[in-house]
């Protein structure tokens, strides 16, 4: 649980890093309303990460985003393991039906595709 003083401290640090970041009472109150249940150390770590990667001041969402490890795209082998056996290929009839719909939308006849 963050105090308003801690929220101010975090925002003051943002203002030091980014000259264009304006800090006023209304902004402090609004940010505190969203951040009051957050952990200050985690927000500070997110700020340090943001500062090292962006020339623009962070928005609240930039500080609350999930860790990068949660957004890692799997490599082809891992994707194969994840999806193996979970999908059945479409039947020939379904494939032909869907292709016919696409041809109709594009105004193409069979073989013009």
Fold of the domain spanning 4-71: Helicase, Ruva Protein; domain 3 (1.10.8)
Separation between Cα atoms, residue 85 and residue 83, nearest integer Å: 6
Q: What is the dihedral of CA 84, 87, 92, 98, to 10 degrees?
A: -130
**Residue extents of the structural domains in the chain:** 4-71
Q: What is the pLDDT of residue 111?
A: 66
Residue pLDDT, tens place only, 44-100: 999 999 999 999 999 999 999 765 555 677 788 888 877 776 667 789 999 999 999
């Amino acid at each position: 649980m963050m105090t308003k003083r801690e929220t101010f401290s975090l925002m003051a640090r943002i203002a030091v890093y980014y000259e264009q970041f304006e800090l006023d009472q209304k902004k402090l109150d609004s940010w505190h309303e969203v951040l009051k249940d957050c952990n200050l150390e985690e927000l500070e770590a997110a700020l340090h990460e943001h500062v090292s990667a962006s020339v623009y001041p962070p928005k609240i969402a930039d500080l609350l985003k999930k860790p990068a490890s949660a957004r890692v795209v799997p490599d082809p082998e891992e994707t194969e393991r994840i999806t193996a056996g979970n999908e059945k290929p479409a039947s020939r009839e379904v494939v032909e039906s869907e292709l016919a719909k696409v041809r109709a939308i594009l105004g193409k006849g069979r073989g013009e595709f």
